[in-house]
Amino acid sequence: MHGVGPSTLLGGRYAVQRRLEQLPRAERWSAHDTTLERDVVVVCFTEQDSHADTVLDAARRAAGLDNSRLVRVLDVGRSDGVGYFVEEALPEASTLTHLLEQGGLPAEEARRVTGEVATALEAARARGLHHLRLTPGSVLRAQDGTVKLRGVATSAALAGAEEVDSTTASRLDAVGVVAIAYAALTSRWPLPGTVPGLESAPHLVGGVPAPSEIAAGVPGDLDALCRLTLNEDQGPVTPGDFATQIAPWSSTPVEGLAAAPRDDEVSPTIALPVDDLPRERQDPQEPEPVPADGVRPATGRANPGGDDATTPLRFDPTTQPRGIPDDAHDEERGEGRGAAAAAGAAAAAGAVGTALGTAGHAAGHAAGVAADRFGTFAKAQADKAAHRRELRRAAEERAEQRRISLDDALVDDDGLEPPLPMLPPGTAAKPTKDESKLVLAILAAFLVVATVLGVYGVSQIGSGIKNPLGNNAPKGDGTVTVTAPPATVTPSSAGGDEQQAKDLPILSVTGFDPEGDGSERNGEAARVFDGKKSTFWSSEGYASSSLGGLKKGVGLRVDLGQSSKVSTVVLELPSAADVTVYVGQDRNSFAAGDELGSSSDKSGTVTIRADKPIDGQYVFIWFTKLSKADDGRFRATLAEVTVS
């Protein structure tokens, strides 16, 4: 950019040092704040740009954000025809793009990173600011695992994006953070356009494949969110909705196996021309360039010493391209050196030798790239098997930690009270003679009192009953004959039979969420059969009455303990809802059972009765339409359930 270069002093304060990234309308430079003696990053653009005023205004508004998950904007200014804004420097951080160069992140680390990004976007949304240009290059992860997001408001302004209303902007950021989750799981970018350093996700008729179709070990909730948001135009409407749906996540970095590519994914082997090959394959002797964005990649290839400095490369298994073993790289480098020597010999021998050597060199590089790309998928089966072994080993370790030995269970606790009265704390110690006599005396006294009370009680039986016939009572064997008029018994109505139906005992109640994590707030489920209408169970909060488009429904599973005939279910609904009741024998699915009945948009006492009893051990209460709660979210609620 004209007017900006090494040693340029912007605003009389910021000494420009090295260009980090070339943006479409701006440049990002490292600089030193001579006033506060600290390193910073300066984003510069020409003051004659039509969007210069918009960018400066966006940077001033972003400077008002004070959130630990956002890269802070420290200053905004103009200097000699150059507009600029200053960001905090994060020299040890890596962009998400660089982290994904070797493949997707572990599933729970992807959850943590995207959860932090969504929380940062929600904090900005609360102040009326949005990102609108979210890519993996906007996400930074420090060495201690801290996740920060840069470019809120400023990235869209630099791109000249048109202003949109708050609702649309929130939805765009929500879709962006879902795309970040997709990329973190699969190392592929699902949205239109390209992201330097990442492959684009394959595009199908219905959109893009779900992450689980590309990588193994993808959690069900993240997989469903990506599929609904990217293919069916549903899912979260704000970044906060996304954060709520995937919570909780780890507060520290999650190390472990990344989501391995599925073994059924196939990538064609394509021979590329030499011009399209990576720089390390075009010329092994050419020094590696400085990263464009100035942030050191995870592989340690960044050059912090300047444009002319070089950093020796050391062997690291994680930096080797997937699908090519180490000896293959040694052979390739050997081929390069051999090709160079052969080229010199060919120059002396003639044009024919030179042409053959050049052609062989280009063909060798093209074959290397093709093998590199195909090797990613050829290794999928081994990665998937290793992922399963790691999960099985972790499960065994957790089981071993929970196992309690018999010796641990029998540890004596000096703080416990003696199990019998008047015995010493050491229960194995023999009682003294005096203690034995005292215990026997107490038992004898108790038996005497009980005997006296028993004799007295027996003697009083019948003493308070008066003879209604007085002295005229008939004598003889004591038999009395009573004559009564004939009575007619009328058969009871059907309603009376229903009222006399017995309530079936409930063994347990659990949350039922087959399209989510399998349970829905189990901690509150027991409230629906505690006999108190003042306590109730409520579901998770959703963005709309139709559960935000994420699921078809949620509910509760009532376990009767054994197969029973169910004819009536009475529900106490604190808020109106659409609910259907099913009865069946399969605890994992109501689809295998029968529908008892349903209710639409009703609250209070709702009775659902079948024409004839249905056999089953499990009663499913399935909510498909929710009501808005006091916190603004949509929830299903149930105070009491009675089954008869």
Domains and CATH numbers, the chain: 9-88 (3.30.200.20), 94-246 (1.10.510.10), 500-643 (2.60.120.260)
What would the pLDDT profile of 618-641 be if each residue is shown by its tens digit?
Answer: 999 999 999 998 888 899 999 999
**Are the beta carbons of 513 and 551 closer than 8 angstroms?**
yes
pLDDT at 501: 63
**Is 70 exceeded by the pLDDT of residue 594?**
yes
- For 576-591, b/e burial (b = at least 16 CB within 10 A) is bbbbbbbbbeeeeebe
Assign residue 325 a region (left: φ > 0; alpha: ψ between -120 and 50; beta: otherwise): beta
Residues 154 and 55: their CA atoms lie apart, in Å, by 6
For position 385, what pLDDT does the model report? 55
Q: Tell me, what's the pLDDT at 389?
A: 64
pLDDT tens-digit series, residues 4-30: 888 889 999 999 999 998 888 899 999
**Exposure of 141 in the CB half-sphere (CA atoms within 13 A):** 23
Q: Does the pLDDT at position 152 exceed 90?
A: yes
pLDDT at 86: 97
> Which residues lie closer than 8 Å to 631 by C-beta, 6 or more apart?
541
Count how many Cα atoms sit within 13 Å of the Cα of residue 316 in the half-sphere of its side chain.
Answer: 10
Distance CA 205, CA 598 (A): 37
CA distance 91 to 88: 10
Please determine, for residue 580, whether its predicted confidence score (pLDDT) is greater than 60. yes
Instruction: State how far the Cα of 369 lies from the Cα of 267, in Å rounded to an integer.
Output: 13
Residue 428 reports pLDDT greater than 60: no
Please report, in angstroms and rounded to a whole number, the separation of the first and last CA atoms in the chain: 80
**How far is it, in rounded angstroms, from Cα 586 to Cα 590?**
7
CA–CA dist 20, 27 (Å, integer): 8
Rounded to a whole number of angstroms, the CA Rg of the chain reads 38
CA neighbor of 242 nearest in space, from 110, 141, 147: 110
460-507 pLDDT, tens digit per residue, is 665 554 444 444 444 444 444 444 444 443 444 444 444 446 889 998
Q: At 28, list the tokens.
A: 């990002």
Task: Please state, rounded to an integer, the average pLDDT across all residues of the chain.
Answer: 75
- Mean pLDDT score, 578-587: 93
Residue 90 has what pLDDT?
A: 92
Q: What is the mean pLDDT of residues 303-318?
A: 34
23 near 34, Cβ under 8 Å?
A: no
Q: If you average pLDDT over residues 586-604, what whole number do you get? A: 91
Where do runs of H (alpha helix) occur along 406-432? 406-409
Dist CA 629 CA 644 (whole Å):
30
Tokens of 410: 């029998």
SS3 state at 307: coil
Residues 6+ apart with CB under 8 A from 416: 425
Residues 70, 61 contacting (CB under 8 angstroms): no
Which DSSP letter does residue 632 get? S
**3-state per-residue secondary structure call for 350-386:** CHHHHHHHHHHHHHHHHHHHHHHHHHHHHCHHHHHHH
